[in-house]
Amino acid sequence: MTGEADSGLANDVRDGLRMVIDPELGENVVDLGLIYDLEVEASVARITMTTTMPGCPATDYLRDAVQAAALSVPGITGADVHMTYEPPWSPDMISEAARRLA
C-alpha cells in the first residue's frame, strides 16, 4: 500500500513527467495517456507506460526521458520504467486539456 508521503511523491513524479514531450505528437506523455500506471514505494518510482504504437521509433527516447524525469524529482532514488502495449494506446486516451490545445 502506498503511504501518504509516497502518494505525494507520485504526484510530484507525474508532474515531472509532463516535461517529457512525445516528438511525434508534440504533447507531454501524461496528457497523451502514455503513462498507464505510476507508483512510488520506498523512494522508487515504478512506471508502466506505452507508446502510440508498437515499434515506435521514439520508444527508447521516451523510456529514457521518463526515467530521467522521474529521477530528477527530489526524494526519488530509483526509477523502474516498464513498457507495455496492453491495452493498446488510442487517441481516446488523450486528456481533455490536451485535446483543447490541439
The candidate with the shortest Cα–Cα distance to 62, out of 45, 82, 78, 37, is 82
Please report the domains of the chain, with CATH numbers, ordered by start residue.
Answer: 4-95 (3.30.300.130)
Q: What is the pLDDT of residues 32-71, one digit of tens each?
A: 999 999 999 999 999 999 999 999 999 999 999 999 999 9
Given the C-alpha cell 483543447, which residue does it identify? 100
The candidate with the shortest Cα–Cα distance to 62, out of 50, 80, 74, is 50
Residues pairing with 80 in the sheet: 46
Q: Is the pTM of this model over 0.85?
A: yes
